[in-house]
Amino acid sequence: MLSAHHPDARPPINAREAILRLSQGMVPHTPGCEPREAAVCESVLRYLLQQPLADAPQPRRYYVAQQGRDPDEALLSRLRTLVPAVQPLSECRVSAREGVVDRATGARGVIVQVARLAWVHAAAVDVVGGYYLTHRHAAGLRYHVEQQGDHWAVTAAHLLWRVYTPSSQGRHTRSVDRHMAP
């Protein structure tokens, strides 16, 4: 159980603020660890792209952020083997009315990102990431990632917070889930 002073113990109230906090929560790169960090980030992004989004239709486009920045083209190419419509974060904009939209076409999409890594030991890392569709639909998760032979794999995913506001006959209700899995 997390103490009240742990950063993951106080989930953000709105999704836009949450995405900003996630992107600002990046750790500085250590030159010797960069390839390991990149491999861990890729494993979490692959996991995110393979999971259906809760309470949402599958988006047409995915915009990927790796620790607050566009990933390199080599990673985007590898991710496109899973989902062809993967673009760098810089190819979208966030609109208060429409959520995540493509800069060129205006098509709606979702931001998936890896924001922060916390090494548990040399072969295990906890990663904070999540997705953002609109200010009414987003989630932050903590992933436990372990080295398995020559690759990294997500072995657990814990919901940190989720914002989902369903629309019901023109009325809006707001539901904010704040869970910590045991």
143 band by pLDDT with thresholds 50, 70 and 90: very high
Average pLDDT of every residue of the chain: 79
Upper half-sphere CA count for residue 131 (Cβ side, 13 Å): 24
29 band by pLDDT with thresholds 50, 70 and 90: very low
Residue 24 has pLDDT above 50, yes or no: no
Q: What is the residue-wise DSSP string for 21-49?
A: HHHHTPPPPPGGGHHHHHHHHHHHHHHHH
pLDDT at 166: 75
pTM of the model: 0.74
CA distance linking residue 51 with residue 104, whole number of Å: 26
Domain residues of the chain, as ranges?
A: 12-177
* Average confidence (pLDDT) over 39-52: 94
Which residues make beta-bridge pairs with 94? 100
pLDDT at 51: 87
* Average confidence (pLDDT) over 149-157: 96
pLDDT tens, position by position, 70-82: 999 999 999 999 9
pLDDT at 14: 46
| Amino acid in position 35 | P
CA angle 74, 53, 144 (to 5 degrees): 65
Share of the chain above pLDDT 90, in %: 59
pLDDT at 34: 83
pLDDT at 1: 38
pLDDT at 17: 52
Task: Work out the number of other CB atoms within 10 angstroms of the CB of residue 27.
Answer: 13
